[in-house]
Amino acid sequence: MEIIMDFLESYRTPEGSWMADDQPLRMYTSPTRGQFPVLMGMFGSRRLCRLFLDPKGSYAADISDAQLLMQAVDSQVAAHVLEKARLPRSVVKQPDLARLLPVLSYGSRDPGPTITLGLVYARDAKAGIGNCSFHRITVKDGSVAIGIYPGGHLQRLIDAHVARGVQLSVSVNIGIDPAIYLASVLGRPSVDFGFDELAAAGALREMAVEIAPCFHNQGWFIDHAEITLEGALGEEMEFESPFPDGLSMPEYLGYQSPWGMVSTLQIQAATFRPDAVYQTLSGPGMEQSTLLGIGQECAVYAKLREWRILDLVRSVVSLPSGGGHLLTVLQVSKKAPQDDAKILDIAEALIGEVSSLMNLLIVDWDVNARSPADVLWALATRSRLDMDIHASAVLPGTPLDPSQSREYARQERDGTTRKCVVDCTVPSGLQARFRRAFVGDL
């Protein structure tokens, strides 16, 4: 845990928030475990993520990260399958991951050291589809456990292979082009099952991502990855924690959750490039919130594009203080009196369509949606909470939020909640009274 604690201490201050402040890019060259240096903070700010999405600065600032990713979905460049690995790699059969990798621990009651930026690549040769996703992967004594969302695309691939009587061969790729990590946050409704996120990463780079056949299973790995694990997934499950009173590693919302049953990842081999670097993140914090937030912004943008109402919405921002999911800002530009009601209808439809949305704040064009302080200014001066909070019926949410539980709301089931739209916009006809100082006319 010494690396995690040092990383947190490197940027948190008494006045700041370790959950929502930008995180530094930091390399630890001599970890106490494993054979590789540790890189943290790669996604520690939206500025860095924008650089990874648009390294040449080809797009104006008003073109959002979600727009760039959805453009990549529209103009995808399929992965290029190599006959064999292009780059030289060392191969270790049946590796002792606890000795080989500098896998970090996040708390005294964690299930064990956890890989947090291992991108799982799975490919169904029969169906001709691929999938990228990252999961928490816990290295335990004698086994490796992986948390997989039950309804997600990876689980569907596993189920399809189990139905054929075989396991799903996968690779876990650590230390790859940031564009692939960013593309891997795409999910429904941005893309459907069967979409290979490597194709979006290829479009971002205007060059196909190269994949090579694994050395010890029937899967494929990302050829340029610093470190890869080769393994298989099937029906086998195990307890995530070896401790009866244990907890999962800290979740993206900043809490620890009770552990449960997770999939067993059968590791067959590890491979690595010369001078490889191990990449990870701190669990809850800017990096994880940024990755999840960009994914949610894509989901909202996809629905707005589907409904053909992008003319009213200037930007969508998922704030890190909500873990990238629970606090989202919709910046709008009203053009007519009827837009007051129309924008509310749009917001209420969004919280019903995107399950990860919880609190959706609507602000005007003159409010900086990326500034929590500016959003709070709009909340304080352009809303009356007794009038402007619009609560939904009980909707599906996330059980990782402690407030979405029967203990918190006895009449609701775990993982459900009433979601809220908060209207922080100027009502039509009152623009003159709410004209903001130092800003042009509303």
Mean of all residue pLDDT scores within the chain: 93
The number of residues making up the chain comes to 442
Percent of the chain scoring above 70 in pLDDT? 99
CB neighbourhood size of 212 (10 A): 23
Is 90 exceeded by the pLDDT of residue 128? no
**What pLDDT sits at residue 107?**
76
Per the listing, tokens 């004594």 go with: 141
CA–CA separation, 73 vs 56, rounded Å? 19
70 contact partners, CB below 8 Å, separation of at least 6: 190, 298, 301, 302, 305
Q: CA-to-CA distance for 130 and 204, rounded, in angstroms?
A: 18
Judge contact between 276 and 230, C-beta under 8 A. Answer: no
Confidence (pLDDT) at 91: 97
pLDDT tier, 440 (very low <50, low <70, confident <90, very high otherwise): low
227-256 residue pLDDT tens:
999 999 999 999 988 877 778 888 888 888
Phi, psi of 137 (to 5 degrees): -125, 115
Number of helices (H), then strands (E), in the chain: 11, 22
Which helix (H) or strand (E) segment holds residue 254: the answer is none
Residue 343's pLDDT is what?
Answer: 96
Lowest model confidence (mean pLDDT) among 27-31, 107-111, 121-125, 395-399: 107-111
| pLDDT recorded at residue 419 | 97
Residue 144: which H helix or E strand, with range? Answer: strand 143-146
90 vs 1, which has greater pLDDT?
90
The pLDDT score that the predictor gives to residue 254 is 85
| CA-to-CA dists, residue 188 to 136, 194, 299, 300, angstroms | 20, 11, 7, 10
Q: How far is CA 107 from CA 138, 255, 275, in A?
A: 13, 11, 29
DSSP per position, 367-435: S-TT-HHHHHHHHHHS--HHHHEEEEEEEE--TTSTTSSTTTSTTS-TTEEEEEEEEESPPTT-TTTTP
The SS3 of residue 314 is strand
Regarding beta strands 26-28 and 359-363, do their DSSP bridges make them parallel or antiparallel, or are they unpaired? unpaired
DSSP 200: H
H or E segment and range at residue 264: strand 261-264
**Predicted local confidence at residue 162, as pLDDT:** 96
Closest to 250 in 3D by CA, of 148, 109, 45? 109
Q: Lowest-pLDDT range, 76-85, 252-261, 361-370, 381-390?
A: 252-261
More confident of the two residues 283 and 272: 272
**Residues 323, 414, 259, 190: what is their CA dihedral angle, to the nearest 10 degrees?**
-50
